[in-house]
């Protein structure tokens, strides 16, 4: 319960986007959020989970597998 709750603008700044992007995530139910009266707050852990689940790891290619066969 010691989670920090962020506003839409704070999440947008954290992600380096406009406020429209976190609002779309909320509308599409792609991120957890909390309604406090008429205000929407996003737990910092939800932002971390979103980033973790959308992180793409690099793929290592073997150099021998890239040869063309004529």
Can you say how many angstroms the Cα of residue 20 is from the centroid of all Cα atoms in its chain? 13
Backbone angles phi, psi at 10, to 5 degrees: -65, -40
Query: What are the residue boundaries of the structural domains of the chain, listed by start?
Result: 5-54
CA dihedral 42, 46, 51, 53 (to 10 degrees): -140
Q: What's this model's pTM, rounded to 2 decimal places?
A: 0.78
Express each pLDDT in 33-61 by its tens digit. 999 999 999 999 999 999 999 999 998 88
Express each pLDDT in 3-39 by its tens digit. 899 999 999 999 999 999 999 999 999 999 999 999 9
């Amino acid at each position: 319960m010691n989670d920090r709750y962020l506003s839409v603008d704070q999440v947008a700044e954290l992600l380096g986007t406009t406020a429209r992007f976190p609002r779309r995530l909320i509308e599409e139910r792609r991120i957890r959020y909390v309604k406090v009266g008429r205000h929407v707050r996003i737990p910092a852990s939800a932002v971390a989970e979103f980033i973790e689940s959308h992180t793409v790891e690099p793929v290592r290619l073997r150099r021998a597998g890239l040869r063309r066969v004529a």
